[in-house]
Structure 1
Amino acid sequence: MNRILLCKSAITAVLILLILIPLHLVGNAVQDRKHFREEAVHSVWQSYAGQQTLTGPVLVLPYKEILRVADNSDPKRPNATVLQAEALQVLAFPKTLRINGEVTPSERYRGIHKVLVYEMQSRWQGTIELPDPGALPKSAGHVGFEVGQPYIAIGISDTRGLMAAPTFELDGKPLKLEQGVRLKSLTQGLHAEIDLPPVKAAKPGLDGRSAQAQRVVPFSLTLPLLGAQSLAFAPVADQNDIALTSAWRHPSFDGDFLPRTRTVDAQGFRSNWSVTSYNTKVRGQLAGTGDGMLETVSVTLIDPVNIYLQAERAVKYGALFVLLTFAGFFMFELVKRLRIHPIQYLLVGLALAVFFLLLLSLSEHIAFALAYLAASAACIGLLGFYLSFVLQSWRRGLAFAALLTVLYGALYGLLLSEDNALMLGSLLLFVILAAIMVMTRRIDWYAAGAAWQPLRDKSAADAPAVQS
């Protein structure tokens, strides 16, 4: 291969590597702006309310079991015993739980950053079996029980989101909810002390119901709540039926259980979950015998246009843009026998890198599509004007601008079609490679680069040999 052609190829490769530096800096800028947005989101959450996870209601019956255990403190009394109290609790979960919630989304701003929040009005209904203090399990060495105050626990991951005082009724009687959940497996929430009916009230009645059935009582809860981004419910009942409706058209159902039915259209979404206690281990997690986060049904209100994610994906294609543009320059030099200086390569590469910075900055203030259109139009116009002089023809400058327009259009298609990005990108690369191979099919690579030889070398090579 011609040494000049080899040298030119090496210089072009080095220039491509140099352009990767500003592209990397633009990528860092995207990450910084993304981090600033996350700080703005959490700042709004701190003064509004954060992601909400709702658990319950759970009836808790605390008690102490008095046990007689061996006393090994004195070796002279091998048969000595001592009384010991062990703190325990019984958790009674609902038999049925029906939740109907209406989620109203809204937006809050922190600087230029938009944060999605919501208000929820919900109605909870179900039945729960009251525990019998006289039927507590007895351990070895049992002496007696000390039964504490039973209460209803309702877990709310961020109680600052309570818009108004919730109302709770058990067996038709209103209960006073107080702050504090009292259950170690839950961090925040509410509780209400209750009085269990005496055991004698659970005798079979005239209607023929069993004593156990008579202790199954209805409950209801009205819970108005503020939150941000996501809303989750822990399915604690034997049978859980949860229905949510909202005007938001971009939900993501990303909990441990997908809805049985869901509808997403221009009016918003409607979703219904049906989960039984056989499907979940949330009861063991609440009792402290399970591990990990509580299993939940969940919906997240997502922003369909995440400008930082799309800008990050766009920057990843930056190296490909530079490579294709420089390859086009290289082909022009070979086919049209032009001489393009490395500084001109470098300026064009920097213009391509600036496009991604323009895209990031503009998309924070206007719609992403308009930002992409404005940034690409500015860069294509600049490069078309500049290349009409570099390539020594305004037609060539327009042709190169048209090729850049196709590339920017293809990149936008890749950004919009995330699921098909790999396939579309592969097809694009194949088409470009095929076009380069067709254009260079007749080039004699051993003789290529003659146009770049210095004039004195070409004159000496073309001069006729002198015979002695």
Structure 2
Amino acid sequence: MGLYRVQVYSWKATLHAEYDPFDYAAEPTRVYGQPHLAMGISDVRGLVGTPHLQVDGRTLALESGAGALADRSAGIHAQLNPLTDPVAGRLRDGNKVDMQFVLDGTRRLAIAPIADNNEIGLRSTWQHPSFGGRFLPNAPSIGPKGFDASWSLSSLATGAQTQLQSSSTSLDTLEVRLVDPVDVYTQADRASKYGILFVVLTFVAFVLFELIKRLPIHPLQYLLVGLALAIFFLLLLSLSEHIAFWQAYLISAAACIGLQFFYLSGVLRSWVRAAGFSVMLTALYAVLYSLLISEDNALLMGSLLLFGILASIMWVTRKLDWYELGNSLR
């Protein structure tokens, strides 16, 4: 919906749980109420269809609400039959639980490991997961076909059980985020961070023209050129919401380079000089685009770009007599 794109997922979950029988003999004075199974879900609107719950192979009906967890979270629960034999301490419905459900969500999935022993596995075709929360997976596999991650957690390593029984407002969770490393908003944000570099390089070139060619440039002309460079990023963001990013980048760069060429031909009093500046800007925009679409080599390419720019400035000014130039300016 709308212009903003959000990563969504459909989690096909299979849950299996086993719990020990109640030790009634250890606490004979305890009064047991109506037992139930509860699962907290932060937003039950993501449930697709009706979850399927079985206890010892027998299907049980699920109800809305998280039962005993209702004060903490939304969710679902199922009523179990009461204890049939308090001495034996077993539930009539058994001790093995199997459940299947589908949950739709956006961006992230968080799971609280509240069992004594938690074995959790997640598999997806998404190629760019970001693992977070309190626990990282054991040797996750990430490749062109997606990712496969697993967690093996003991209650000794997590405080989720204690937090659940207390009044704590948060639980220790493991988390997976769906990250798009080259979405248009991330690319536009990264591009804007290079905006200062573009303006500085253009101003440096102006200063060199002033010093070497004795060509005066008014501060207002500096300002107009800087604004023309800055508006590129606004054009890029606004156009990329409607067309492909590379098309938005090409149109924005062409428009700004054309504007700079037209204006600088008058400021620098030469079409040739203006063309030289336009070529420089074209090269910078081309390198910037390579940086934006690169996932793994952006830092290396950025470092090489800065090194190349510094080397070019040093080469252009290597024979410049700064003392003589300073005396002439006085």
TM range (shorter): 0.7 to 0.9
Q: 1:224 to 1:417 in 2, by over 3 A?
A: closer
Equivalent-residue separation in structure 2 for 1:166 and 1:332 (angstroms): 72
- For residues 169-184 of structure 1, the aligned pairs below 5 Å read 169-184=54-69
**Match of 1:14?**
none
* 1:129 and 2:129 are equivalent in the alignment: no
- 1:348-372: CA deviation from partner (whole Å, max 9, x where unpaired): 2221111111111112122333322
* Equivalent in the alignment of 1:197: 84
- Relative distance call for 1:199 and 1:230 in structure 2 (3 A) is same
Alignment match of 2:43 (pick from 134, 158, 163):
158
Residue of structure 1 aligned with 2:131, choices 253, 258, 281: 253
Separation of aligned partners in 1, 2:192 and 2:14: 47
- Judge conservation of contact 2:36–2:67 (CA < 8 Å) in 1: no
Change over 3 Å in CA distance of 1:263–1:157 after alignment to 2 = same
Kindly indicate whether residue 269 of structure 2 is the aligned counterpart of residue 384 of structure 1: no
* Cα distance, 1:295 vs structure 2: 1.7
Q: CA separation of 1:423/1:248 partners in 2, compared to 1, >3 Å: closer, same or farther?
A: closer
Write the distance in 2 (CA, Å) between the matches of 1:430 and 1:125: 57
Within a 5 Å distance, the mapping from 1:40-439 to structure 2 comes to 109=1, 111-136=2-27, 145-184=30-69, 186-194=72-80, 195-201=82-88, 217-288=95-166, 291=168, 293-416=170-293, 425=302, 428-439=305-316
Residue-by-residue CA offset, 1:380-400 (whole Å, 9 max, x unaligned): 222223323432333322221
For residues 129-186 of structure 1, give each alpha carbon's deviation from its aligned partner in whole angstroms, at most 9, with x where no partner exists: 232445338xxxxxx5443212211111111122122122222332222112133463
TM-score, normalised to structure 2, is: 0.85
Deviations 1:398-425 (A, max 9, x none): 2211211232234334445577666655
* TM-score normalised by length of structure 1: 0.62
Deviations 1:429-456 (A, max 9, x none): 4543443344334434454389989xxx
Structure 2: any 5+ residue segments left out of the alignment?
none
| Secondary structure, aligned partner of 2:83 | coil
For the residues of structure 1 that align with 2:208 and 2:247, how far apart are their CA atoms? 33
Task: Structure 1 unaligned segments of length 5 or more: list them.
Answer: 1-108, 138-143, 203-210, 454-468
Percent identity at matched positions?
Answer: 50
Larger radius of gyration: 1
How far did residue 120 of structure 1 move? 2.1
Secondary structure of residue in 2 paired with 1:129: coil
1:68 aligns with none
Which sits farther off after the overlay, 299-308 or 436-445? 436-445
Q: CA deviation at 1:345?
A: 2.5
Aligned-partner Cα distance in 1 for 2:301–2:146: 31
Shift of 1:220: 0.7
C-alpha distance in structure 1 between counterparts of 2:127 and 2:320, whole Å: 56
Deviation digits for residues 201-230 of structure 1 (CA, Å, limit 9, x no counterpart): 46xxxxxxxx9xx99821111122222221
Give the count of matched residue pairs: 327
